[in-house]
Amino acid sequence: MARHMEFENRSGPRYLASLEVKAEWDEPTGTHIVAEGTTENVGPEGTLVHLPRQLPDVGSTVRLEVMGENGELLQVIAEVLRIERNPGHPLAALQLVGETDEWKGLVWEPAAPRVAPPPPVEESEADEDAEDDDDLTH
């Protein structure tokens, strides 16, 4: 019996994040393209971006600027791993080339979902819960 195995190449979790981006690349014809879009999600070494007007070719190099609230947050170089030519929502999967520490610290880690700690339990409630647990074990 043949076994089908898939290997996950991601180096960490991806977080949903909608950040404004500007992507620049050169077409094989020599035309320089500048496109604006948004991230769909971000990972520790890459991102999936929605570029509504034009997509770069797979394998091409893209200069990506991620915009913060006060303008440019970070500029990185990425390689196009795959594209999705959905007419309603074209996407490009980008993998960073080179150093990713700044990306992780400025883009990926802040995009992580924040989970609020549970509210503190007052002593009287904790004692009641302990009594309830004792009743269940006897």
Instruction: Read off the pLDDT of residues 66-90 as tens digits, 9 standing for 90 and up.
Output: 998 788 889 999 999 999 999 999 9
Residue that is written with structure tokens 């074990």 in the block:
137
Q: Which residue has the higher pLDDT, 136 or 99?
A: 99
- Contact by Cβ (8 Å): 94, 76: no
Whether residue 134 is predicted with pLDDT greater than 90 in this model: the reply is no
Q: Residues of the chain with pLDDT > 70: what percent?
A: 80
Task: Say whether domain 15-111 belongs to CATH 2.40.10.220.
Answer: yes
- Residue 61 backbone phi and psi in degrees, to 5: -100, 135
Tens of pLDDT along 38-70? 999 999 999 999 999 999 999 999 999 999 878
Mean pLDDT taken over the chain: 85
DSSP string for residues in 29-69: TS-EEEEEEEEEEEETTEEEEE-SS--PPTT-EEEEEEEET
- Cβ-Cβ contacts under 8 Å for 76 (sequence gap 6 or more): 63, 64, 66, 96, 97, 98, 102, 103
Q: Is the pLDDT of residue 130 over 80?
A: no
Give the largest Cα separation in the chain, rounded.
79
Given the DSSP bridges, would you call strands 15-16 and 32-43 parallel, antiparallel or unpaired?
antiparallel
For residue 106, what are the contacts with CB-CB under 8 A and spacing of at least 6?
66, 73, 74
Task: Give the 3-state secondary structure of residue 126.
Answer: helix
Query: Assign residue 77 a region: left if phi > 0, alpha if psi is -120 to 50, beta otherwise?
Result: beta
- Tell me if 21 sits within 8 A of 63, measured CB to CB: no
Domain spans, the chain: 15-111
